[in-house]
Structure 1
C-alpha cells in the first residue's frame, strides 16, 4: 500500500524561526494557501477512498481538512501524530536558545536531540509515530495519508524505514510538502519520494 506523510502549512512561528512543538499555532494566510495547493495536487493523485489521519494540533488539522475536503472524505485525529514537544524551547527566539543552552543547541544541531526540560527525545517520538502509522496501515484497505509536523514526520519516517536516529539521516519536510512510502508488510517500508511540493510534481524522483 501507499502511505503519504504530509507536513502542515506555514505558521507565523515558522516565519519567525520559533519552535512550536506542542504549542497550538494557526496557519498564516500563506499557510492556508499552501494547504489548498497541496490539497488540489493530492486530489489529482489520490482516490476519495484515501484515509486521512491528522495530528490534533490546529495547524495540522486545518491542513488535513483542506486535503480531505478536496478528496471528498473526512479526517481522523490521532494524538500520536502531534509534534515533538520542545519544552522550554517552545516560542523563544533562536538567540534565546543560543544564550541559554549553548551546549544543548550544539547537541541538537548535531544529533537532533537535546537535554532540555520538557524536550521529547527521539525514541519516544519514533515509537508513537511508528505505532500510529503501522496501526492505521493495518486498518485501512486503500491509501493512507497522514498529516503531521516537521520533526515528528522526519523521526517517524526514519523509524519506519530503519534509518538511525543519532543524526539527521533524513531532511525535514517543507511546509505543506509530502513524502510517499510503500508498505509491503508490517515493518517492511520503502521511502519512494521525499519533500514533494505541488510545483515539483513533474520532477523525476
Structure 2
C-alpha cells in the first residue's frame, strides 16, 4: 500500500522576513537545515526502509530532501512539477508591500481566493501539476513515497487529493519542515491521516 508523506521545505531567510518566494530559488538558512534534520528524525521511525523520496527542483526543497535522506540507501529524485506556485510580480515582496501596492488582490489572497495578477499560477493550475506528479509516482512506488515540496503547492496537492475546495482556506498553512501523511481511503480516494507533524513553533508561513 502506497502512503504519501508530504514535507514542506525548511526555513529560508525570505520565510523568516516574510518575503513571498514562489518560484524564486532561495536557499535554506541555518534554521531551515536544523528543521530538515528534525524532520528526518520524526519521519524515519514511521517510514519503510525502502521509501522513495522525490523533491521539487528548487534548492530549498532539494536540500531538505538531501538532509532527510542523509546517508541512507534511499532513492532520491527531483520533479519540477513539485515546485512552488508562481506569484508573478509579488515574488520578493514583503506583506505590507503587497498590501500597499495590490490592496484588493492581497485581501482576496489572504482570504484564500485568487488574486488577479500577471504570471500568477492559479490554484487549479498548481493542483493539476502537483496531482499529476503525485499520481505518477504513486503508480511507480509500491510503498512509502516522500514528496518534498512547498507551502502553497503542497497545500493544493492535499486539497486536490482530498477532494476539498481550493478556495477559502479549508486547510491551513503547512509549517516549515513539517509533514503530512495521506493513505488510501477504504471507499476510494485518499484520507489525511496526519498533518503538520513535527511542526516547529509558529513563525513566518509565506
In the superposition, the TM-score normalised over structure 1's length comes to: 0.92
SS at match of 1:65: helix
C-alpha separation between the residues in 1 aligned to 2:36 and 2:6?
A: 14
Residue in 2 aligned with 1:90? 91
Residue in 2 aligned with 1:47? 48
Taking the TM superposition and a 5 Å limit, the aligned residue runs for 1:51-130 are: 51-69=52-70, 71-130=72-131
Q: What is the CA-CA distance between 1:198 and the residue it aligns to?
A: 6.7
2:148 is the alignment partner of 1:142: no
C-alpha separation between the residues in 2 aligned to 1:36 and 1:79?
A: 23
**1:18–1:93: 8 Å Cα contact kept in structure 2?**
yes
Residue in 2 aligned with 1:26? 27
**1:37–1:198: 8 Å Cα contact kept in structure 2?**
no
Q: For structure 1, which segment, 164-173 or 9-18, has the greater mean C-alpha deviation from structure 2 after superposition?
A: 164-173
C-alpha separation between the residues in 1 aligned to 2:45 and 2:21?
A: 31
2:190 is the alignment partner of 1:189: yes
C-alpha separation between the residues in 2 aligned to 1:37 and 1:165?
A: 30
SS at match of 1:146: strand
SS at match of 2:137: helix
C-alpha separation between the residues in 2 aligned to 1:198 and 1:77?
A: 24
- How many residues matched? 200
Runs of 4+ in 1 over 3 A off after TM superposition: none
SS at match of 2:175: coil
Residue in 2 aligned with 1:16? 17
In the superposition, the TM-score normalised over structure 2's length comes to: 0.92
Query: Which sections of structure 1, spanning at least 5 residues, go unmatched?
Result: 201-205
**2:39–2:177: 8 Å Cα contact kept in structure 1?**
yes
C-alpha separation between the residues in 1 aligned to 2:145 and 2:152?
A: 20
